[in-house]
Chain A
């Protein structure tokens, strides 16, 4: 297969040649992007499995209590770490790489460096997750990875970003589409967030009085900026393309970008309302968390008006249905965070199952639905066809799980919150009240885990096994023997 040099810009004489060009670009990054996705899905399955174990332990405390390796306090952070740093991050990176390749129109030739980076990332995460299970975790949420593993991840990330910027830079003067802006800035923010937090809390020792602010700032940035930007990037790219329409408003998109960046950074102390953090910092975070509704509203309005009456068509298709649901859960998650940031509400709902449910909604609702949708959208380009009915089944399984999370978070959180608040209720009674809702969460986690297994199988089959009767017609199957890794 002939490929022009990466520096040559594509000329667009006709529609068909542009499409051929796009196919060529796709093929050149196919191996790299699929490797990112495969790694991500591996971590999605691992993380969800660990979540099922820890969810079981909340219902049956004696489950696997024989060994230190499987204790709740290690399995829980190991699972969350796998989901955030393995699944969400790698899937978002994979999509971003494809998107940048598409935007630059360049055919990539050498992918050794990025593939090695992703390998290093995976190895670091394997070591790190095993380290957490072996008791080497730091005890700080989302900064659990032992120092060397965190360093290796940052190194892998750095190499990947350098390669991306050297290889897939856009043409100067080319207008920057909002999806690409979200992705590129996400890279910058992750480097800042993760290096800063690790430097202050993991690689060096800081007094305990500053742990709270820094971990709050990091956790909030990890979800509210890094994962949010990656996912919004996919939504802003794919939904207009799927609808076959231009994005409704550049102004609303720009507004969302900058307000998200500003308020997203300041929201971190919402985890510590009433906690040992100076009052003004907590109040600033309360306001910022609340004002995050504005960019969320801007995103929903913008994408909603872009889709317009194509909405029902997009909802029919099993792939874009994921994206639309991801958008809805994004908004619900932001509103859910703002709700519990109201100090009066926080006095009831904080420290309850509501907060756990909110995290699950962010991970499985917003991030996972969006990125699964993105992967499914790209799959026919890279692999073979897949069965839409199967994708639809996974979708509804996840939705059932999310429904259970939301129910237990709101009703269970309310009950548990009032019980925790009430001076007359003893703690062991609180445990009793919340028990049924922990069972619901467990069932939800089980359902979601089943869906992730099915999704992983679908992905593997689509990449490796040509379907006999393609349910989704792909006119030009990608040849299997393409040399992708130089």
Chain B
């Protein structure tokens, strides 16, 4: 076979997958827009704060995706919804606000697609990131103490100061406060709420 016709053939055969799995979603899924929900009258997916966008970068840079997925798979084949990972299947539009999306390949840690629905207190997130094994005994998550700093208490204790339990206590007169990175990360995690209605992702009926 001539090399020119070989390469033409290769380009066509492989190019088909590029058209189908790259170009097509780039146009069809990249082109979807937030829209006003008929049901609630507000924009879906809801706008996300700048802190959360910043936190997404912290999430990516620290490789959270290598343990945590962010996908809720649908009934009837998968049990994600009865397991409480989310009220409905996640669809492409759910990820519109984050660049990139962190879908994940494994669930070494629990799925985080809707962690903002399950946990609503920033202090829990800070405690958990600082020393996961204290907040969730038996957890195999590493500690992220490097996202916190120990500083001298200036007058009053900071509102953000972590209520540290466990072995890594601050020195007397000092407190543990989250760095801006940790604050952004927690802002991001708390923004992960995929409970708004989307027409392409119907909620399963109550009695499964």
Contacts and interface: CB of A to CB of B under 8 A. Distances in A.
A–B contact (CB under 8 angstroms) = yes
Interface of A: 57-58, 61-62, 65-68, 71-74, 76-77, 135-141, 176, 181, 184-185, 188-189, 192, 196, 200-201, 205-217, 221, 225, 258, 261-262, 264-266, 268-269, 271-278, 281, 284-285, 343-344, 347, 351-353, 355-356, 420-423, 427-428, 431-432, 435, 438
B99 A207 contact: yes
A281 B105 contact: no
Interface of B: 1, 3, 6-7, 9-11, 13-14, 16-18, 20-22, 24-26, 28-30, 32, 59-67, 69, 71, 73-74, 77-80, 82-83, 89-108, 110, 132-133, 136-147
B14 A72 contact: no
Pick from A184, A214, A281 the residue with the most CB of B within 10 Å: A214
A84 B96 CA distance: 30
Contact of B63 (A74, A209, A268): A74
B82 to A, nearest CB: 5
A141 B21 CA distance: 17
Contact of A276 (B59, B80, B90, B108): B90
A275 B90 contact: yes
20 contacts: A61-B141, A74-B63, A137-B63, A138-B60, A139-B102, A188-B10, A207-B96, A209-B94, A211-B99, A213-B29, A214-B26, A216-B21, A217-B17, A217-B18, A258-B9, A262-B17, A272-B71, A355-B105, A423-B83, A435-B140
B10 A72 contact: no
A209 B141 CA distance: 28
Given A71-B62, A269-B21, A274-B74, A423 B105 contact: no
Contacts of B78: 274, 347
A137 B107 contact: no
A281 B102 CA distance: 19
A214 B25 contact: yes
Given A207-B99, A265-B13, A431-B139, 10 more contacts: A62-B143, A74-B62, A139-B60, A139-B61, A139-B64, A209-B32, A212-B95, A217-B22, A268-B17, A428-B138
A65 B143 CA distance: 6
A275 B71 contact: yes
Contacts of A262: 13-14, 16-17
B22 A135 contact: no
Given A71-B63, A351-B105, A351-B106, A61 B95 contact: no
Nearest to B107: A351
Nearest to B84: A423
A227 B20 CA distance: 22
B60 A211 contact: no
B191 to A, nearest CB: 13
B77 A208 contact: no
Contacts of B99: 205-208, 211
A62 B131 CA distance: 10
Contacts of A276: 71, 89-92, 94-95, 101, 103
Contact of A176 (B1, B9, B93, B140): B1
B138 to A, nearest CB: 5
Given A181-B6, A211-B103, A189 B14 contact: yes
Contacts of A207: 29-30, 32, 95-96, 99
Contacts of A137: 60-61, 63
Contacts of B144: 65, 71
A275 to B, nearest CB: 5
Contacts of A210: 25-26, 29-30, 92
A135 B144 CA distance: 13
Contacts of B13: 258, 261-262, 265
Given A209-B30, A265-B17, A271 B105 contact: yes
Contacts of A201: 100
Nearest to B2: A172
Contacts of A420: 107
A55 to B, nearest CB: 12
A280 B176 CA distance: 50
Contacts of A272: 71, 103
A255 B17 CA distance: 18
A140 B100 contact: yes
Contacts of B3: 176, 184
B138 A352 contact: no
B61 A136 contact: yes
A383 B24 CA distance: 50
A196 B21 CA distance: 12
B140 A73 contact: no
Nearest to B110: A427
A209 B93 CA distance: 6
Given A62-B143, A432-B138, A209 B17 contact: no
A284 to B, nearest CB: 7
Contacts of B22: 196, 200, 213-214, 217
Given A205-B99, A208-B96, A274 B77 contact: yes
A69 B51 CA distance: 23
B62 A261 contact: no
Contacts of A67: 146
A111 B136 CA distance: 58
A99 to B, nearest CB: 16
Q: Which 6 A-B pairs give the minimum distances between C-beta atoms?
A: A73-B63, A139-B60, A265-B17, A274-B73, A208-B101, A208-B95
A262 B101 CA distance: 27
Contacts of B63: 71-74, 76-77, 137, 139
